[in-house]
Structures are given as structure tokens and as C-alpha cells.
Amino acid sequence: MGCLQWVLSIEKLFEVLPCLETQKVLLATFTLEEEARRWWMLMCESNKNIGWAQFLEIFYDKYFPQCVHDRKVKEFMGLKHDSMIVAEYEAKFTELARFAPYMVDTNYNKVRHFEEGLRDDILEKVNVLKLETYIEVLDRAIISKANIARQAKSSTN
């Protein structure tokens, strides 16, 4: 399991097991194995009582170099709907948004960034609605794509 997948699975656990920030670190580091476990054993003495955010900084410095993070941010900035179905685009958008939270820090920013990546034929049907929430834009994009597909099918018959 990659480091990003491990973080996602641990954070999923935190959703159902509420705990203090320092307890999150204890729980997460308990699940580390092999080399990562040995690494944390060396690090933990100088990082006692840190919170989850501080742990992630240290963890990412070790297992997720800045250059990789920067590539993910760049990928997010250039993400386009293109040939993906809307659900695939949304999944990729959500995955990559984690690397650039400052770009989606408000609902407005998230909506606009998502819209900007939509294909032109869908964007022109969605952006005129001036929708305010991410879920509304996603919903209308899916509906627009279905309508475009239906129109294309009926014009070929």
C-alpha cells in the first residue's frame, strides 16, 4: 500500500473512531510496518505529543517528496475532463484536490475549478446556470452529459 493510500485508510478510520489529535498519531503509527515502523521508532522520541497535522508533515517529508507533491499539484491545476466520463473526472478531481487544498478552500473556488476542467460541450450548459455548490455542478454536468449522449444517439437514428 502506498503512503497516500495508507493515509486515506487511516483517516477513514478516524471518521468512525473519534480521538484527540495526539491519539490519532498513536493509532496511525501502531499500524506502521517494517521500514516505516523502524523509521517511526527513531523519530518518535523527538516528536512526542505531536498532532496529526504535524505527523503528516514529517511523514510526507520522508515518504512523499516535495517534487512528487508538486507534480500532483500541477496535475490538478491542468486537470481536464476530456475523454473521461464525468464520474471519472470527479474522482480524479477529488483525489488531486488533496494536494492543493488552498485551490478548493471555499465552495466557490472548488466549484469554479471543477467547472473550468469540464469539456466545452458540458461547460456551456452548466456555467450559464451560475450554480453555487459543488454537488449542483456535478449533478448538472452528469445530466448534461447524458442529454448530449441521448441527442447524439437520436440524431444517428
CB atoms within 10 A of CB 134: 19
Claim: this prediction has a pTM higher than 0.75:
no
Q: Say yes or no to pLDDT of 1 above 70.
A: no
Residue 157 — very low, low, confident or very high, per pLDDT cuts 50/70/90? low
For 130: left if phi > 0, alpha if psi spans -120 to 50, otherwise beta; the answer is left
Does 38 or 5 have the greater pLDDT score? 38
Tell me: the pLDDT tens digits for 55-86? 998 998 898 888 888 999 999 999 999 999 99
Q: What confidence score (pLDDT) does residue 5 get?
A: 86
CB atoms within 10 A of CB 141: 24
CB atoms within 10 A of CB 85: 12
Do residues 64 and 4 touch, judged by C-beta distance below 8 A? yes
Length of the chain: 157
Mean pLDDT of 12-41: 94
Residues 6+ positions from 73 with CB-CB distance below 8 Å: 99, 100
For 31: left if phi > 0, alpha if psi spans -120 to 50, otherwise beta; the answer is alpha
